Chain A
Amino acid sequence: MNLLAILISAMLINNIVLMQFLGLCSFFGVSTKMKSVVGMGLAVIVVIFLAALITFPLYRYVLVELNIEYIDTIAFILVIASLVQLTELVIKRVSKSLYKALGVYLPLIATNCAVLGVALKNVAVPQTYPEALMYALGSGLGYAFIIITFTAIRLRLDSANVPKALKGMPIALVTAGLMALAFMGLSGLI
């Protein structure tokens, strides 16, 4: 039950995009085509989960044991960047269709602060490894859910009669703000 609560909390209540304002560059940049967004969402889920799989034990069993936990940010940046390169390499070799759907977005995720943010938050609070993995999975799913929903709204806004001064990014920002307000209503869910 606890793991399920963490999953739902990370996905909906403490959503990384709308509540923690992480990964906003790709959130606004990619959310123009539904096809791109689905690929990006899947890539983010995979990378955030893999990053948590590696960074949590690296912090607990290497950095803390050696009393050098203060280098966590730089270590995580490099580990995540390496992980993204390695994942891209493997997908490129193994499956061309998977690479086309998901792998092409991996270089964008290497610099996505949502991945680093989740890795750092995971080690900042005392929790177990399964809890950390569940939080990472929930965060990735939350990102994918929000970016897909946001894209659907943006696509509908393209055909709406929006005032000229608000067209494009301004109305997108207003929409994201309203979505954040709506998601604040879920704060009492758990």
Chain B
Amino acid sequence: MPQFLILMGILVGIIVLYVGTMYLNKKVAIPEECKTAYLEAQSCESCASRDGGSCGFSDALEFMKEVKL
């Protein structure tokens, strides 16, 4: 039983730490001159899920039709 309580205590502690830091971070606004750079970095392009390097499923199908694959 104490083992379980320790486990839950640590897990809850870490979750509270995460939620707390996330809340504090959200409260601090992004500096005005950094907004463009921030949006550019966070766009889907950054994760290669859109036009940046790869394309969506429908785009891929269109491409395959175009090159007759």
Interface residues of A (CB under 8 A from B): 25-26, 28-30, 32, 36, 39, 62-63, 66-68, 71, 74-75, 78-79, 81-82, 85-86, 88-89, 92-93, 96, 99-100, 103-105, 107-108, 164-165, 168-169, 172
Distance, CA A27 to CA B32, complexed state (A): 28
| Nearest chain B CB to A24 CB, angstrom units | 9
| Nearest chain B CB to A134 CB, angstrom units | 26
Question: What does DSSP make chain A's interface, helix, strand, loop or mixed?
Answer: helix
Distance, CA A71 to CA B10, complexed state (A): 10
Pick the contact of B21: A32, A82, A105 (CB < 8 A): A82
Question: What does DSSP make chain B's interface, helix, strand, loop or mixed?
Answer: helix
Interface residues of B (CB under 8 A from A): 3, 6-7, 10-11, 14-15, 17-18, 20-22, 24-25, 28, 30-31, 33-34, 37-38, 40-42, 45-49, 52-55, 67, 69
Q: Given A85-B21, A96-B33, A62–B10 Cβ distance below 8 Å?
A: yes
> Is A168's CB under 8 angstroms from B53's CB?
yes
A to B CB contacts below 8 Å, 11 in the list: A29-B45, A29-B46, A30-B46, A36-B46, A62-B10, A81-B18, A89-B28, A99-B34, A104-B42, A108-B47, A172-B53
Distance, CA A31 to CA B50, complexed state (A): 14
Give the chain A neighbours of B53 by CB distance below 8 A.
Answer: 28-29, 32, 168-169, 172
Distance, CA A107 to CA B15, complexed state (A): 18
| Nearest chain A CB to B27 CB, angstrom units | 9
Distance, CA A67 to CA B22, complexed state (A): 29
Give the chain B neighbours of A168 by CB distance below 8 A.
Answer: 53-55
Q: Given A99-B31, A100-B34, A104-B41, A169–B48 Cβ distance below 8 Å?
A: yes
CB-based nearest A residue for B31: A96
Give the chain A neighbours of B34 by CB distance below 8 A.
Answer: 96, 99-100, 103-104
CB-based nearest B residue for A31: B53
